[in-house]
Amino acid sequence: MSAEAPSTARPLDVDAVRQDFPILHQTLAGDRPLVYLDTAATAQKPRVVIDKVRECFEQYNSNVHRGIHQLGDRMTTEMEDAREKVRKLLGAAEADEIVFNSGTTMAINQVALGWARKMLGPGDEILVNEMEHHANLVPWQMAAKATGASLKYLPLTADGRLDVERLDACLTHKTKLLAVTGMSNVLGTINPIGLLAQRAHAVGAKILVDGAQSVPHQPVDVHQLGIDFLAFSGHKFYAPTGVGVLYAKREILEAMDPVFGGGHMIREVFRDHATWADIPAKFEAGTAPFIEIVGLGAAIDYVRNLDWDAIAAWEHELSIYAHRRMAEIPDLVVHGPGVEHKGSILSFSLPDVHSHDLSDLLDRQGIAVRAGHHCTMPLHERLGLAATTRASLAFYNTKSEIDVLVEGIEAARKVFQRRRPAASSPHQPLTTNH
């Protein structure tokens, strides 16, 4: 996981890519073309994914691992083919190490409930940091409370990176788990996962990576990096909503307890107890989101066919251009490290302008960005801000869209300057519907 843009012999044809995404070609209210800069919240879907989902519903929709008929066989085969595609995407040793669920949040909670509550006790420590999404923080708070373990925080540097020089003081033989994001959903910081995994293993700890932002934008090899647990969401990987992945090594999954009980996850059920199915079924109680899983497989095929190097190079070029253009806006602050240490996420703020107000005015110009604390309240407290505005880029974005964003921010600044109340008057938000 590196922020450095790799060289590529086949530049991305962005105009052709954009033709694959139907939603990008619409106009919004006011006849404004859509400028979608909110991929970190959810990615748009290419036509091949939409068509694959439609194919499933129209041709062989049937529950999986149940009916002994042609439709059920076809649907089960398609779903298990998608599991193998995820395995190849992540470099996992075997498909059984891939557990399907509803998304990153559920995957992390499965580890917190099924592994941490079984393996941790008083005196043990979980190492986190302030840039984590609530989904990779709150479950560990709950697990610590339930087991008597404690949370420790690895400090951040002034520019929003992990302070690895403090790692020796924070990562000790008491540490049982290091939980860290692959890429910050606010700062864009790309963390040194290989180094962190090596250091965690040296003290007997395991590492869990929140890959919600990193997996869709760069190759991640769990074996090469030494990752014990990894979670990501399909909807951020250009796939349907409602499907996610937990990767863990076989021996870890076999030692974990299942979190949900019901159909499919059992071997035998008696009046007073039950035994569990083999992995991954042990963790996939009930009906799987099988059509969404097949859609994820189609999204993986699409991204891999584009070429990871080409994607990373273009997104890095977009990020450099966006940082340069936004530096031209007076008083605007882009939070986080320099572009060489981050992915294509820019969270920014303007003095005396609430992010919701700014986002609302940008929306009126057809520009979709995110506003708020982005499920990172401790990080925003550290920044001294209640909220920020976030523009998140993907390989289907263009430099001209960044120009539109900069023009939109400049236009919004003029509106706020005209409406700014006198010093003695409290700030009145332009909108109240957020």
Which tokens in the block code for residue 154?
Answer: 């690895």
The pLDDT assigned to 421 comes to: 57
What mean pLDDT is predicted for residues 53-60?
97
Sheet-wide strand order for 244-248: 98-101, 244-248, 229-233, 206-210, 175-181, 125-128, 150-153
- 427 band by pLDDT with thresholds 50, 70 and 90: very low
Give 127-184 pLDDT, tens digit per residue: 999 999 999 999 999 999 999 999 999 999 999 999 999 999 999 999 999 999 999 9
Q: Please give the Cα distance from 9 to 32 (Å, whole number).
A: 36
Domain map (residue ranges) of the chain: 14-44+307-419, 49-304
14-44+307-419 and 49-304, same CATH topology: no
Q: Which CATH class is domain 14-44+307-419?
A: alpha beta
The pLDDT assigned to 417 comes to: 79
Give 370-414 pLDDT, tens digit per residue: 999 999 999 999 999 999 999 999 999 999 999 999 999 999 988
Q: Please give the Cα distance from 383 to 173 (Å, whole number).
A: 31
- What topology is assigned to 49-304 in CATH? Aspartate Aminotransferase; domain 2 (3.40.640)
The pLDDT assigned to 30 comes to: 81
What mean pLDDT is predicted for residues 347-360?
93
- 67 band by pLDDT with thresholds 50, 70 and 90: confident
What mean pLDDT is predicted for residues 311-328?
97
CB 186 within 8 A of CB 197: no
For the residues of 35-95, what is the DSSP string, one character each?
EE-BTTT-----HHHHHHHHHIIIII---SSS--SHHHHHHHHHHHHHHHHHHHHHT-S-G
Q: Please give the Cα distance from 315 to 324 (Å, whole number).
A: 14
Give 87-105 pLDDT, tens digit per residue: 999 999 999 999 999 999 9
| Residue 82 confidence (pLDDT) above 90 | yes
Predicted TM-score of the model (pTM): 0.93
Query: Which of 12, 222, 260 has its CA nearest to residue 113?
Result: 260
**Strand-strand pairing, 370-372 and 175-181:** unpaired
Give 326-352 pLDDT, tens digit per residue: 999 999 999 999 999 999 999 999 988
- 66 band by pLDDT with thresholds 50, 70 and 90: confident
The rounded mean pLDDT for the chain is 93
Q: Number of H helices and number of E strands within the chain?
A: 15, 17
Residues in Cβ contact with 101 at an 8 Å cutoff, skipping those fewer than 6 apart:
107, 110, 243, 244, 245, 246, 283, 284
**φ, ψ dihedrals at 23, nearest 5°:** -65, -25
Which tokens in the block code for residue 410?
Answer: 């400049």
- 290-306 and 70-90 helices cross at what angle (nearest 10)? 40
| Residue 4 confidence (pLDDT) above 90 | no
The percent of residues above 90 in pLDDT, for the chain, comes to: 90
Give 18-36 pLDDT, tens digit per residue: 999 999 999 998 889 999 9
What mean pLDDT is predicted for residues 282-300?
97
Q: Please give the Cα distance from 335 to 344 (Å, whole number).
A: 13
Give 243-264 pLDDT, tens digit per residue: 999 999 999 999 999 999 999 9
- 5 band by pLDDT with thresholds 50, 70 and 90: very low
The pLDDT assigned to 433 comes to: 31
Any idea which residue has 């194919």 for tokens? 55
Task: Confirm whether 375 is a catalytic residue.
Answer: yes
Residue 88 burial (10 A CB sphere; 0-12, 13-18, 19+): exposed
Catalytic residue among 5, 266, 375, 430: 375
